[in-house]
Amino acid sequence: MTTHTTRMLILGSGPAGLTAAIYGARAGLKPILVQGIQPGGQLMTTTDVENYPGFADVIQGPWLMEQMQKQAEHVGTQLMYDTIVEVDVSQRPFRLIGDGGDVYEGDTLVIATGAQAKWLGLDSEEALKGKGVSACATCDGFFYRGKKVAVIGGGNTAVEEALYLTNHSPDVTIIHRRDHFRAEKILQDRLFAHKNVSVLWNKEVAEFVDGGGTAGLIALELRDTVTGERSRLDTDGGFVAIGHHPATELFRGHVELDEDHYIKVETGTTKTNVPGVFACGDVMDKHYRQAVTAAGSGCMAALDAERFLAAEDFKVAEAAE
């Protein structure tokens, strides 16, 4: 068992965690970043990225994360390949324990563990991810300009995704397994008033239909949840919008979470209810969930942590006089 110590300990290696590491390293804090189960975060499963600033041409998600990782290492971040199984933020230094027994101690802790989209769990869905099947309309809707798309779900996420897609598609269909939405009424009113949106009630996706070759998704095989009757909906894109799971299981009971299990932060900052613990990226952001906003909040977390440490150092120095 080895103990690793640092002034800034970061958990999570997506755009938020790596940006926090870059800023922390440049501030001389010699951060340690523990990469976790999915190094690189959700962008490692994203192919074409067209909305990250600074690149005129379409780039690949894994390539972007590789570049961020190299930049973080170049400026002085120590990257650790480990999976954390236990946390203690009851006192400083904060302690994380890896599944191999290694201990990581930090004077500050930045939580950037992200969130995962919920999926239907179909084999055909998995096979067509990035080939017509997506869980992010804001990320991928642009690729379906003038095309026919479908959104699966019935909550706020689904209705918001459908409304967003009307900016690109003249034909948006929402597929919902019940006969009413769970979304807020104001969103439903906007949806029902939109001429480009139609709703299929009491339907669930039985299969995403692959056109073969480079065609990708061409249709959805639907099942009526009342009668069991099968039907088919031809479509160019299928957006699964049934919510997200923030990766906060480790921190339940340790930092304050909201009703959806996202980490609560002080408005306009990345500060949690535990002084010295900060949260950034999708683990605290259930509204935007974009790589660029995650990176921006990672910058905020590093600056918040740096200022926290400076204030603590000043107290120590003042007490010593």
- The answer to whether residue 280 is catalytic is no
* Residue 291 contacts residue 307 (beta carbons within 8 Å): no
* Residue 262 contacts residue 249 (beta carbons within 8 Å): no
- Alpha-carbon gap, residue 122 to 223, rounded angstroms: 14
Contacts of 90 (CB under 8 A, 6+ apart): 254
**Pair type for strands 94-98 and 103-111:** antiparallel
How many residues belong to the chain?
Answer: 321
**Pair type for strands 103-111 and 3-11:** parallel
- Alpha-carbon gap, residue 172 to 252, rounded angstroms: 38
Residue showing tokens 């339907």 = 203
Q: Determine which one of 57, 82, 99, 136 is catalytic.
A: 136
DSSP 39-87: TTGGGGG--EE--STT-SS-EEHHHHHHHHHHHHHHTTPEEE---EEEE
Residue showing tokens 């990176």 = 295
The radius of gyration of the chain from alpha carbons, rounded to an integer in Å, stands at 22
* Residue 154 contacts residue 189 (beta carbons within 8 Å): no
Q: Determine which one of 82, 107, 139, 282 is catalytic.
A: 139
- The answer to whether residue 299 is catalytic is no
Q: Determine which one of 140, 236, 285, 304 is catalytic.
A: 140
- Alpha-carbon gap, residue 242 to 117, rounded angstroms: 8
- The answer to whether residue 136 is catalytic is yes
DSSP structural state of residue 263 = B
For residue 301, which phi and psi values (nearest 5 degrees)? Answer: -65, -40
- The three-state secondary structure class of 182 is coil
Interhelix angle 156-165/185-192, rounded to 10 degrees, is: 30
Residue showing tokens 């049934």 = 242
Give me the active site residues, please.
136, 139-140
